[in-house]
Amino acid sequence: MPKAPTGIPGFDEITFGGLPKGRPTLVCGGAGCGKTLFGIEFLVRGATQFGEPGVLLSFEESAQDLVVNVASLGFDLAKLQRTKKLAIDHIYIDKSEIAETGEYDLEGLFIRLNGAIESVGAKRVLLDTPEALFAGLSDVGILRSELRRLFRWLKDKGVTAVITGERGEGTLTRHGLEEYVSDCVILLDHRVQNDAVTRRLRVLKYRGSTHGTDEYPFLIDQKGISVLPVTSLGLTHGVSRERISSGVPVLDEMLGGWGYYRGSSIMVTGTAGTGKTSLAAHFVDAACRRGERAMYFAFEESPGQITRNMKSVGIHLDRWIKKGLLHIDSARPSAFGLEMHLVRMHGLLDQHRPSAVAIDPITGLAAGASEHDTAVMVLRIVDFIKSRGATGFFTALAAEDDLQSTSLSISSLVDTWLLLRNIEVNGERNRLMYILKSRGMAHSNQMREFLLTDKGVKLQNVYLGAGTVLTGSARLAQEAEDRREEIRRRQEDRRRELALRASLAAVDAKIAALHAEKQTVEKELTETAAEGAARRKAASGDQDELKRSRGGN
Amino acid sequence: MKSTGAAKAKSAGKKTGNEPQYRLRLYVAGQTPRSLQALSNLKRICEEHLAGNYRVEVIDLLQKPQLAAGDQILAIPTLVRSIPAPARRIIGDLSNVERVLVGLDLLRAG
């Protein structure tokens, strides 16, 4: 199905290309939901970005009012009118001025619309909102059949039309426009929860096309509407093999030796006072040391508080602020709605263009909004940071009893997840840190004791022995005990060695004695043999002498 | 009504030398039966109630579509009373005489 791109960031992604080309689309929602703006942005971007002029047929606001209203969003309707890229006609009806007598049709409306379309060669039309006709004319039967005819006529004309409608009680639009416009229906919503405003958009229906079915939050900021789809999540981001330091050497060591991946998302969860902020400060500090720009969003402390507190643990952030490398932005979570937070953060990230972004704590955003809303927003922030190739560092406050629960369902999104926890034993509280996961690197499975020193975070090997993990003074005591034990063992060894050496010497002495004895015996043996031989020789000599003396033979 | 074009001026009744007190414009879109019906109804009513004191202009929007916006024309046929002020408009085929008279302020409602 051919589509007409709206140019509204995010919207064309969730509809896989935009609105159905050459067909009408109904955009409905309550008062102030942004439906008129949606339509106007569709026209303006069509005219400026896609070479498709448009017609705005307004049933409510006058052309002048519209021009003024959207000027704040950077839409210059007057200029578009001058350059023949936009025609605006204001349809005004006042029931009190009109008497009805007998049959009529709305051919006048058709003629005006047609004239406007032809005057600029329009490919796009916005009708905002034809429901106003119901207030001006009393013959509902005629109105309905004429509206049906109008939408069919628009289709025959081949213009891509947006028709807005005010949400009714239990119906999409007060006067059932959805009956006539059935190709594509978009619902805009505008909710206030705990004083925070959240806008959402949903594609209710899109005949002949797949579309995202979720409710997507959207923003209206100084650049118009932007829908925040989550569809592109993590799948299209460029991946870096470059590694960057966490700012804590031992932690880098634990992360396969080199620290985090550039462009990855890191989350650290922990209960109150476990040192999450210090880790975040190390992270931005390390980025600034590399000469990169960093951004720190703080939801609990002011910039002054953070720099002072971090100085006490040896992290000097103020010098980076002075150099213009680091920007700390503090805002109360309840200061504005989630949507506005997101807008602000987008804006600041655009302005500052950091390569490292810390949000401390990301759970701070949850104040004043439902869990689901926050999760969705957080997803989008994380995604946004990731999509810009920046490395994101998020701290999350966890409940004492369930460390992994406040992950705001972004745990699947983060690449590296560090856990900090307190251990209370023997009247003291110590911190432990371990790596819950870290994608794409061989990482340590060891717990480390996490110490905050005046030179920053230190990670200490914990005492691992006899099946227990000991930290703090228990670890120190155990280590001292181990040392004493070691000395005792060494002395014992020495003693045994001496004893063994002594017995070895004794054996050697014995061997020497036996050896001497052996030599004596051998000597004796040789002498005995020699004596025997001499004797036998002497005897034989005697007999020969005897024979000769007897004169015989 | 002729379809020669544009706005067709049509006056009726006695020429008094003064401008007629009632100026009416009837907007139509081509010679549809409904338009013709409206025009003949209008003529009859004017002759009966405003004889000699009115001028009717018939505007065919198929010929002059640009005139539709000026008088905020939506419905066809629409009769606009431009003079005397304030402007009044009556839509439909003008088949209900009483309503037309009320619409033109020639008769009080009820």
List, for residues A37-86, the tens digit of each pLDDT value: 999 999 999 999 999 999 999 998 888 888 888 888 888 999 999 999 99
Domains of chain B as residue ranges with CATH:
19-103 (3.40.30.10)
DSSP string, A237-249: S-----EE--S-H
List, for residues A194-219, the tens digit of each pLDDT value: 555 678 888 888 888 887 777 787 87
Identify which of A93, A84, A94 has the alpha carbon closest to the alpha carbon of residue A116: A84
| Contact at CB, B74 and A100, closer than 8 angstroms | no
Q: Are A367 and A221 in contact (CB under 8 A)?
A: no
Cα separation, B103 vs B101, whole angstroms: 5
Structure tokens at A170: 């239990």
Closest residue of chain B to A92, computed from CA coordinates: B72
Complex ipTM value: 0.83
Third-level CATH fold of A243-461: Rossmann fold (3.40.50)
Beta bridge partners of A205: A185
Q: Would an 8 Å CB–CB cutoff place B60 in contact with chain A? A: no
Domain boundaries, chain A: 3-227, 243-461, 467-503
Place of tokens 């020497």: A512
Cα separation, A287 vs A354, whole angstroms: 9
Q: Among the listed ranges A214-228, B4-18, B96-110, which one has the minimum average pLDDT value? A: B4-18
Which are the contacts of B32, defined by CB distance < 8 A and separation ≥ 6?
none
Query: What does the pLDDT read at residue B13?
Result: 44
**Confidence check: pLDDT of A154 > 90:** yes
Structure tokens at A83: 């350059």
Distances (CA, A) of A268 to A262, A263, A367: 17, 16, 19
Burial of A341 (0-12, 13-18, 19+ CB in 10 A): buried
Q: Decide the pairing of beta strands A448-453 and A428-438.
A: antiparallel
**Average pLDDT, stretch A259-286?**
88
DSSP string, A187-222: EEEEEEETTEEEEEEEEEEETTS----S-EEEEEET
Residue A137: list chain B partners with CB under 8 A. Answer: 74-75, 91
Which are the contacts of A182, defined by CB distance < 8 A and separation ≥ 6?
A205, A207
Residue A111: list chain B partners with CB under 8 A. Answer: 29, 61-62, 65, 68, 73
Cα separation, B106 vs B102, whole angstroms: 6
Sequence length of chain B is 110
Cα separation, B57 vs B6, whole angstroms: 10
Please identify, in words, the CATH class of the domain defined by A3-227. Answer: alpha beta
Q: Would an 8 Å CB–CB cutoff place B16 in contact with chain A? A: no
Q: What is the DSSP letter of A136?
A: H
**Confidence check: pLDDT of B8 > 50:** no
List, for residues B52-61, the tens digit of each pLDDT value: 888 899 999 9
Amino acid B13 reads: G
Structure tokens at B77: 């046929």
Burial A2-29 (b: 16+ CB within 10 A, else e): ebbbbbbbbbbbbbebbbbbbbbbbbbb
Residue B42: list chain A partners with CB under 8 A. Answer: none
Identify which of A111, A109, A149 has the alpha carbon closest to the alpha carbon of residue A132: A109
| Contact at CB, A133 and B34, closer than 8 angstroms | no
Q: Are A108 and B75 in contact (CB under 8 A)?
A: yes
Residue B73: list chain A partners with CB under 8 A. Answer: 108, 111-112
pLDDT category, A513, cuts 50, 70, 90? very high
Q: Would an 8 Å CB–CB cutoff place B87 in contact with chain A? A: yes
**Average pLDDT, stretch A281-296?**
93
Burial A40-60 (b: 16+ CB within 10 A, else e): bbbbbbbbbeeebbbbbbbbb
**Confidence check: pLDDT of A518 > 90:** yes
| Contact at CB, B94 and A102, closer than 8 angstroms | yes
Cα separation, B73 vs B8, whole angstroms: 17
Cα separation, B8 vs A199, whole angstroms: 54
